[in-house]
Amino acid sequence: MSEKEKMLNGELYDANYDKLLIEERTKCKTLCFQYNNISPEKTDERKKLIKKILGKTKKKFLIEQPFICDYGYNIEIGENFYSNHNLIILDCAKVTFGDNVFIAPNCGFYAAGHPLDYKTRNKGLEYAKPIKVGNNVWIGGNVVVLGGVTIGNNVVIGAGSVVTKDIPDNSLCYGVPAMKIKELPI
């Protein structure tokens, strides 16, 4: 099994020395560099390039610069998606956003993880777990979402939260780690 297949299957893999994964990351990071250096008023050029980076987009969306990701092809965004400045997505596994998702500045979605065992970690091995964000979600500034997490529909994540576990539908959550504070009206 190739390192890419291991990555996509959530198994331990080596991203540091695998030629294909290095090439794919370099290509994506080059496209992100180009995207981040397009003048903001060139909206058509920006949209065309971000569609080239991401695996799937809908019609209406805006990703403010700067934006950084690892592979791009594992990211899917829904209709009426907006992210403010400094979005980072480590997309070694699928990262999916539903419709009407709004992300404040300085947020990170980290599908990548590393073994707790230092001997395994020191070999450069890592794993990836998917992230799924539902519809009608607002994520506050400086939020981190870790791999393996599903955020339900109609959710608000408060600023500065670290989301380590699934978040149910219709919830206001915040904290480190993020916890459900109250039910939101439907």
pLDDT tens for each residue of the chain, 186 residues long? 999 999 999 999 999 999 999 999 999 999 999 999 999 999 999 999 999 999 999 999 999 999 999 999 999 999 999 999 999 999 999 999 999 999 999 999 999 999 999 999 999 999 999 999 999 999 999 999 999 999 999 999 999 999 999 999 999 999 999 999 999 988
Is 85 annotated as catalytic? no
CA distance 75 to 91: 7
What's the CATH code of the domain at 128?
A: 2.160.10.10
CA dihedral 21, 27, 33, 35 (to 10 degrees): -120
Domain that holds residue 120: 3-183
Q: Which of 25, 114, 132, 180 is catalytic?
A: 114
Only one residue has tokens 């670290």, namely 162
CA 167, CA 179: separation in Å to the nearest integer? 8
- Residues 128 and 113: beta-carbon distance below 8 Å: yes
| 87, 91, 115, 124 from 121: Cα distances, Å | 26, 19, 5, 5
Tell me if residue 118 falls in helix, strand or coil.
helix
**Phi, psi of 185, deg, nearest 5:** -65, 150
User: Which residues, at least 6 apart from 47, have a Cβ–Cβ distance to it below 8 Å?
Assistant: none
pLDDT score for 186: 82
Q: Cβ–Cβ contacts within 10 Å for residue 59, how many?
A: 7
Amino acid 185: pLDDT:
87
The number of domains in the chain is 1
